[in-house]
Homo-oligomer: A and B are copies of this chain.
Amino acid sequence: MSTEVNHCSAHHVVIIGGGFGGLYAAHHLRKAPVKVTLVDKRNFHLFQPLLYQVATGGLSPGDISSPLRAVLAPNKNTKVLMAEVSDLDPQQQTIKFKDTELAYDTLIIATGVSHHYFGKDQWAEKAPGLKTVEDALEIRRRIFFAFEAAEKETDPEKRRAWLTFVLVGGGPTGVELAGTLAELAYSTLKNDFRDIDTSETKILLLEGMERVLPPYPPELSAKAKASLEGLGVTVETSSLVTDIEDNLVSIRQGDQVKKISAQTILWAAGMKASKMGRVLSERTGVELDRAGRVIVQPDLSIAKYPNIFVVGDLANFPHQDENGKPLPGVAPVAMQEAKYVAKLVNKQLRGETLPPFHYSDYGSLAVIGRHAAVVDLGFVKFSGFPAWFAWIFIHIFFLIEFDNKLLVLIQWGWNYFTRKRGARLITNQEEQPNLGVEQKSNPPTPVKV
């Protein structure tokens, strides 16, 4: 039951960002004696862990998105505002839009991160990353267009370049993309072409560290690598990308430098804080880490401003253990942080407080392919089919809306048994696609607010 709130005088909590952090903060404040405004520049929540499925034609964007208004409609104390925040004034306690502003009593910032090209922003166009729906559709376009171009190409060398896919970054996104691409090339598309043999497709996963899934225990990294290789992916670790020219990737492996000719290069490495981190730092003096994330206090507020909180990927929470390593940028962290802040706001309104935030790590998991995944629950580590099953179950469980759960389950069941992928549309192309010069769908500095 929601409490009636006097909207004129009630304590006003403004949340910026409708991802896991923002949405869960609003959720846990739904019965608090506050009014809540959730601000996002998009009108939907995106279930990012499944975005790679959109990029590979297995799901449609609508399947993994939920309209923020529909999700929050039952929360009578909550308003949704579709707008882009441009600035904030912590003294006046306002956030600013293009031509209006909004006053807050408590501010929760959950604007996340985007990809980072290590200072080489010119790579963005050549190797798109995967953070937004538009990114996923652009990657989907490039993947399926590459096979179409290969089918038409008569020069064997150029054809080989169209059938070569390079994935930069061996974290969960890179591993998931590589595994799904392998299924696509070696199973789904096998009978669809007449002039090319899609089983000649080369999929190369590059990781700078000495193993894939670096934050996972070494034995799971090894299992993931073995699974990927079993699917046909070439995994190269300790490999640093030194340059990306048009259709050419330069890699340094120890003292060796090699160049790989590939028409499709996808970026799954590097992470950069969203613009709000910098704005916040300029206005409040709060310290940022090297990636631009906001160093937060043990209660997730920022130094000197106890009524401004940062949660989710944008927060650097270094207090968990002795070595000060920040918490990873994953959904469970964002969700627990959001819940903590909502609870703390509630307590503070009654003149109480809470002990510092503590993250409970229930484990990590990453999917590799059609029926392989790795799961690390701390007390137990497993891989292969049971891990894949657990991965599916957990992901469907956390999809926000029931109809999405149902649709995704059916699509997956269908994709699994038929090895089909129905959503492989090439959309938003130019009249004659020219992949080198595409600009619009691949903005060099995506900012998620």
Q: Measuring CB to CB, which residues of chain A are less than 8 angstroms from any residue of chain B? A: 41-44, 57, 59-63, 65-67, 69-70, 73-74, 79-84, 98, 133-134, 137, 144-145, 148, 151-152, 189, 191-195, 401, 403-404, 406-407, 410-411, 414, 418, 420, 422-428, 431-432, 440-441, 447
The answer to whether B82 and A148 have CB atoms under 8 Å apart is: yes
- Give the distance in Å from the alpha carbon of A403 to the alpha carbon of B413 in the complex: 10
Question: Which partner residue on chain B sits nearest A133 by CB separation?
Answer: B427
Chain B min CB distance to A10 (Å): 14
Chain B residues, CB < 8 A from A74: 191
Chain B residues, CB < 8 A from A82: 148, 151-152, 426
The answer to whether B422 and A67 have CB atoms under 8 Å apart is: yes
The answer to whether A73 and B418 have CB atoms under 8 Å apart is: no
Mind listing 9 A-B residue pairs with CB under 8 Å?
A60-B61, A61-B427, A62-B422, A65-B422, A65-B425, A82-B426, A133-B427, A403-B414, A403-B418
The answer to whether A425 and B144 have CB atoms under 8 Å apart is: no
Chain B residues, CB < 8 A from A191: 73-74
- Give the distance in Å from the alpha carbon of A431 to the alpha carbon of B41 in the complex: 8
- Give the distance in Å from the alpha carbon of A42 to the alpha carbon of B420 in the complex: 19
Chain B min CB distance to A7 (Å): 9
> Which of B59, B98, B134, B401 lies in contact with A428, CB distance below 8 A?
B134
In this complex, the member of A59, A74, A424, A447 whose beta carbon has the largest number of chain B beta carbons within 10 angstroms is A424
The answer to whether B73 and A43 have CB atoms under 8 Å apart is: no
- Give the distance in Å from the alpha carbon of A41 to the alpha carbon of B189 in the complex: 19
Chain B residues, CB < 8 A from A137: 427
> What 4 pairs across the A-B complex have the smallest Cβ distances?
A62-B423, A60-B60, A60-B62, A69-B192
The answer to whether A425 and B193 have CB atoms under 8 Å apart is: no
- Give the distance in Å from the alpha carbon of A403 to the alpha carbon of B43 in the complex: 28
Number of identical protomers: 2
> Which of B98, B134, B151 lies in contact with A427, CB distance below 8 A?
B134
A67-B424, A73-B191, A410-B406 given; A144·B43 CB < 8 A? yes
The answer to whether B426 and A42 have CB atoms under 8 Å apart is: yes
The answer to whether B134 and A425 have CB atoms under 8 Å apart is: no
Further 15 A-B residue pairs, CB within 8 A, beyond A69-B189, A406-B410, A428-B441: A43-B424, A44-B425, A60-B63, A60-B423, A61-B425, A61-B427, A65-B423, A67-B422, A70-B420, A73-B191, A74-B191, A79-B194, A80-B192, A133-B425, A428-B428
- Give the distance in Å from the alpha carbon of A178 to the alpha carbon of B407 in the complex: 27
- Give the distance in Å from the alpha carbon of A422 to the alpha carbon of B403 in the complex: 8
> Which of B67, B192, B411 lies in contact with A70, CB distance below 8 A?
B192
Chain B residues, CB < 8 A from A193: 69
A61-B427, A192-B70 given; A152·B422 CB < 8 A? no
- Give the distance in Å from the alpha carbon of A70 to the alpha carbon of B424 in the complex: 10
Chain B residues, CB < 8 A from A73: 191-192
A422-B401, A425-B62, A441-B428 given; A192·B67 CB < 8 A? yes
